Amino acid sequence: MVTGAAGQLGQALQASVPQGIELIALTRQGLDLADTKACTSLVRELKPDWVLNAGAYTAVDKAESEPELAQAVNAGAPAAFAEALAQTGGRLLQVSTDFVFAGNQGSPYRPDQPVQPLGVYGASKAAGEQAALALPGGQVLRTSWVYGPVGKNFCLTMLRLHALKAAAGEPLGVVADQVGCPTATTTLAAACWRAIGVGKTPSEPGPEQPRILHHSDAGAASWYDFALAIGELGVTSGLLERAAQVTPISTAAYPTPAQRPAYSLLDCTLSRAALGLKPIHWRAALAQVLASLG
């Protein structure tokens, strides 16, 4: 059972579902994640072997003014899934975020490090992690800076702004002092399916793997680096006639309601080994995503 099926990760999961898996793909219309009773009753009814919770409240800034809704979706839903799965014998893979960390240590975060979220969104996702891990068959897969060929994401927004700013002869200002790693939905979906395939199912034991996994593409970038690469590769792939001039700006120059971690790179070394995944550099993954849009 996959939640958030209409979202960018949900669509990537459906496009890459392995053979032999019976997929129940649920959109917001099929299941409101803010409705914990509905989450519990649906799992009890369907009795899935796995719930892959890819749905989430992801409006980081809006969460500051809607903390109850963010908490209901990001923490209440996984808690409801875990409660029901404890009765039906299924397992839970909870997709989480680098925003559970404060971003103040200047080195990649390991899966076993304590969380310290800065805002409502990160706090709600951290609570969702704890709910998932309270289930004996619960796992967490953290990722960062997700984008893909569909949905609302930084990559598609920057393609549009590059075209507009280049046509107007105006610079495109992008924050340069927040560092993380862009992650394509294609590689993230592969990691999710691998996590389910490698781990134990209720009826068939398999090799042990960490209960908290980290997955991002390889390398590091600021939002400025990412925007610059989107422009360069957008021209190369024929999606843009020309790229706008990208100007680095500071976080302080672009204030937002939610505070964001300045350095939220995830250490994926142990997780890649456990899942048997080879890293792909974020620029290479970006080139593949842009090529799919041509």
For the segment 252-284, what is each residue's pLDDT rounded down to a tens digit?
998 899 999 999 999 999 999 999 999 999 999
Q: Strand, helix or coil at 203?
A: coil
- Token representation of residue 240: 């843009």
CA neighbor of 56 nearest in space, from 40, 42, 75, 43: 75
* Predicted confidence (pLDDT) per residue in 243-258, tens digit: 999 999 999 998 899 9
Burial zone of 267 (CB within 10 Å; 0-12 exposed, 13-18 middle, 19+ buried)? middle
Mean pLDDT of the chain, nearest integer: 94
3-state helix, strand, coil in the chain (%, to 5): 45, 15, 40
Spatial distance between the Cα atoms of 28 and 13, rounded to a whole number of angstroms: 16
Contacts of 248 (CB under 8 A, 6+ apart): 173, 174, 175, 176, 222, 224
Spatial distance between the Cα atoms of 275 and 60, rounded to a whole number of angstroms: 29
* Predicted confidence (pLDDT) per residue in 87-103, tens digit: 999 999 999 999 999 99
pLDDT of residue 254: 87
Name the band, by pLDDT with cuts 50, 70 and 90, for residue 207: low
Name the band, by pLDDT with cuts 50, 70 and 90, for residue 61: very high
pLDDT of residue 201: 43
- Token representation of residue 230: 């989107």
Average pLDDT value for residue range 31-39:
97
Name residue 249's beta-bridge partners. 175
| Residues identified as active-site | 121
pLDDT of residue 205: 43
CA neighbor of 92 nearest in space, from 146, 123, 42, 131: 131
pLDDT of residue 178: 96
Name the band, by pLDDT with cuts 50, 70 and 90, for residue 112: very high
pTM: 0.93
Task: Map out the domains of the chain as residue ranges.
Answer: 2-293
* Predicted confidence (pLDDT) per residue in 151-203, tens digit: 899 999 999 999 999 999 999 999 999 999 999 999 999 999 999 984 444 44
The secondary structure element, H or E, covering residue 140 is: strand 138-143
**Which one is the CATH code of 2-293: 3.60.10.10, 3.90.1150.10, 3.40.50.1110, 3.40.50.720?**
3.40.50.720
Name residue 246's beta-bridge partners. 172
Where b means 16+ CB within 10 Å and e means fewer, 88-110 reads: eebbbbbbbbbbbbbbeeeebbe
Spatial distance between the Cα atoms of 193 and 198, rounded to a whole number of angstroms: 9
